Structure 1
Amino acid sequence: MLFSGQPGVYFLDPSLHRIKCLQIPPIQLLSYKLLTNIQIHQRNEKMASFSTAQDLFIPLGKDGQRMSYRLLGPSPSSSGKIPLVMLMGFRGTMDQWDPALIDPLAAQRPVILTDIPGVGRSEGAVPLSITEWAQSVVDLLIVMRIPQVDVFGYSMGGCNAQMVALIAEEYSGGKVKVRRLVLAGTTPSDGQGVKRFKREELEAFQRLAAAQTVEQQKEAFMKGFFGRCSEKSWAEGKKSWKRIAGARKKTMGQLGKEGSRRQGIAFAKFMGEGSLEKLKGLKMPVLIANGCQDLLLPTENSYLMYKTLPNAYLHLYPDSGHGFLYQYADHFSSLVNLFLDGEKLGATLTPSKL
């Protein structure tokens, strides 16, 4: 079975066809076993890792405000690989990625981490539309003279990634194209079948928005990303928080109140733009992944995107929610590498052991 030729729904456990949150016809279920022969390249000492990558800046626009980014892994010329651009979610910065996810990706390809204007070390104010977020990402790639990229978007960053894929070629005048797209724990904008946020989900989002102290942020992270899951999942969440907190000596912390407010406005506007139907125009391969119990952005919407996109794969992880990509960091990073390389799946995959 080839990633490039067999889109479908893939589960880490065949019993997941019984999960209550999704009504997926059993005929679409494909189970698979653990990849045991994945070759992880040894990191060259000269290649930057998540903890060692330097902050870089490029001035954009008429006012010359600087947009920050980091380069990890091998150079595109030496590796022959397409760079992977990674876009973070609500209130997050480049500092908030889990190195357990990032470093295995950067071991096999060039990785570009970046913050949109007004976030982290990027100057200016947070744009009030996600379309403008996407334009800033494309502007960065134009200046960097990178003609083709893969894009990975997580959570609200997945909304950004959708817009990058939709606008890149036209907005850049053909200077930037998106080859493959990874959408992790995200949602399309409003459309037929999109699940609206209920009270529990809104409360989790509000908790993230209101958190100011480190302890409040940790509580919001744990409850929002791992809250519906087992003690094992919760324990993995604590490990992830510790990895993120200890990965870099100097961090910016999460986005402040005003920037968070502006991000919220942009997200609310995005949800009313009706991009769900526009996704049908994306012909590139798309990997959609989520936990089977995402509290922040409902898992049902991941399945809806799978049904809407013409060339998509959906992977759902058991006993996990919004933080699935950190809970299953080894497994998911391997899956993303396989998808981006267009390699064979092999026999089947089974859940990573917690």
Structure 2
Amino acid sequence: MSTYADVKTQTIEAANGVTYAYRSLGDETDGRPLVLLQHFRGNLDNWDPALIDALAQGRRVVTFDNRGVGATTGSTPHTVTAMAEDAVEFITALGLTRIDLLGFSLGSFVAQEVALLRPDLVNRLVLAAAAPQGAPDMHGWASEVIAAVGGEVPSAEGYVRVFFTSAEVGQTVAGRVFGSRVDGHDAPTTWETRLAQYDAVAQWGIPNHAQLERLRGITQPVFVANGDSDPMILPRYSHLLAGLLPNAAIKIYPDAAHGFLFQHYQEFSGDVAAFLEEQIR
């Protein structure tokens, strides 16, 4: 069986004219696929292979670069809603009509919008390091966070500092994430993508209490998760999100930051599997 470290990157052209780069792991006949939405500035190579391999036990897992990201064509949109519309285009191009959806960080914003725009498409929703649109005091990230991960030249040290609670843990996980694939690497994300994605993040965080009411439209079961020390999306926003959703469970992982799902990949993948198999409601 292939692993995420060696599975080949594929492409598919959607009806919107965009050619999407993606990777698919697991048996395509295994039930409902789990589609993943990536974090700020992330591409196909920024997923932890150990996590993807664990998630793909017994189900198909699909990762992809949204429009303008990595090896996917087009220009990166400046709004979360446009990103969600592009994600739907990709999912539709694959011929999928019912999926489970996992969004991480910026991807969790996009996942919420997909569930609102196409409620019939999404069966269950996993939101990792997530926050609701319009939450107070979330208009852009703290200066030390954007300095660490938002520079024109990506910083490995900044990534470790924001994603993990210690350099030792961070370096171990980063080595696994970036050192597992020998060839067939994805194209790096561009500065234009970084600027567009941060525009989307900032717009998402404009304080607007009315936007919180939109969450009533997400009636699917939702699993909300975060690390207890996430400096990028503070855990209180995940608690707020879970409290506003009609049908949500939440778990906060100890001694973990933004990359909690990589650090605790075994526990997290087990929790996701239980949730998708309807053992967590």
How would you bin the TM-score normalised by the shorter chain?
over 0.9
Structure 1, unpaired ranges of 5+: 1-44, 170-175, 346-354
1:132-190 Cα deviation digits (max 9, x unpaired): 11111111122222110000000111111111111124xxxxxx510000000121111
Q: Secondary structure at the match of 2:75?
A: coil
Residue 124 of structure 2 is matched in structure 1 by: 180
Residue 290 of structure 1 contacts residue 317 of structure 1 at CA under 8 Å; is this kept in 2? yes
Residue 57 of structure 1 is matched in structure 2 by: 11
Residue 236 of structure 1 is matched in structure 2 by: 169
Code of the residue aligned with 2:151 in structure 1: it is A
- Give runs of aligned pairs for residues 1-354 of structure 1, distance below 5 A: 45=1, 48-62=2-16, 64-75=17-28, 77=29, 79=30, 81-169=31-119, 177-191=121-135, 194-196=136-138, 201-210=142-151, 212=153, 217-226=155-164, 229=165, 231=166, 234-248=167-181, 249-252=183-186, 254-272=188-206, 275-343=211-279
Greater length-normalized contact order (CA 8 Å, ≥ 6 residues apart) = 1
Code of the residue aligned with 2:252 in structure 1: it is L
1:92 positional shift: 0.3
Alpha-carbon distance between aligned partners in 1 of 2:217 and 2:198, rounded to the nearest angstrom = 27
Structure 1 runs (4+) greater than 4 angstroms displaced:
none
Percent of aligned positions with the same letter in both sequences? 33
Code of the residue aligned with 2:19 in structure 1: it is R
Q: Which has the larger radius of gyration?
A: 1
Code of the residue aligned with 1:126 in structure 2: it is T
Code of the residue aligned with 1:304 in structure 2: it is L
Residue 211 of structure 1 contacts residue 220 of structure 1 at CA under 8 Å; is this kept in 2? no
Aligned length: 278
Q: 1:260 to 1:198 in 2, by over 3 A?
A: closer
Q: Secondary structure at the match of 2:184?
A: coil
1:256 positional shift: 1.9
Q: 1:197 to 1:295 in 2, by over 3 A?
A: farther
Please tell me the root mean square deviation across aligned C-alpha atoms, in Å. Answer: 1.9
Alpha-carbon distance between aligned partners in 2 of 1:209 and 1:321, rounded to the nearest angstrom = 17
Residue 161 of structure 2 contacts residue 170 of structure 2 at CA under 8 Å; is this kept in 1? no
Residue 173 of structure 2 contacts residue 263 of structure 2 at CA under 8 Å; is this kept in 1? yes
Residue 98 of structure 1 contacts residue 326 of structure 1 at CA under 8 Å; is this kept in 2? yes
Code of the residue aligned with 1:246 in structure 2: it is G
Alpha-carbon distance between aligned partners in 1 of 2:68 and 2:245, rounded to the nearest angstrom = 31
Q: Secondary structure at the match of 1:82?
A: coil
Residue 189 of structure 1 contacts residue 275 of structure 1 at CA under 8 Å; is this kept in 2? yes
1:276-327 Cα deviation digits (max 9, x unpaired): 2211111111000001111001110000001100110110011111111111
Alpha-carbon distance between aligned partners in 2 of 1:186 and 1:56, rounded to the nearest angstrom = 28
Residue 120 of structure 1 contacts residue 252 of structure 1 at CA under 8 Å; is this kept in 2? yes
TM-score (ref. length: structure 1): 0.74
Q: Secondary structure at the match of 2:214?
A: helix
Residue 195 of structure 1 contacts residue 300 of structure 1 at CA under 8 Å; is this kept in 2? no
Structure 2, unpaired ranges of 5+: none
Q: 1:185 to 1:256 in 2, by over 3 A?
A: same
Residue 130 of structure 2 contacts residue 241 of structure 2 at CA under 8 Å; is this kept in 1? no
Q: 1:322 to 1:337 in 2, by over 3 A?
A: same
Residue 140 of structure 2 contacts residue 205 of structure 2 at CA under 8 Å; is this kept in 1? no
Residue 140 of structure 2 contacts residue 202 of structure 2 at CA under 8 Å; is this kept in 1? no
TM-score (ref. length: structure 2): 0.92
Code of the residue aligned with 2:47 in structure 1: it is W
Residue 240 of structure 1 contacts residue 327 of structure 1 at CA under 8 Å; is this kept in 2? yes
Code of the residue aligned with 1:217 in structure 2: it is S
1:329 positional shift: 0.8
Residue 18 of structure 1 is matched in structure 2 by: none
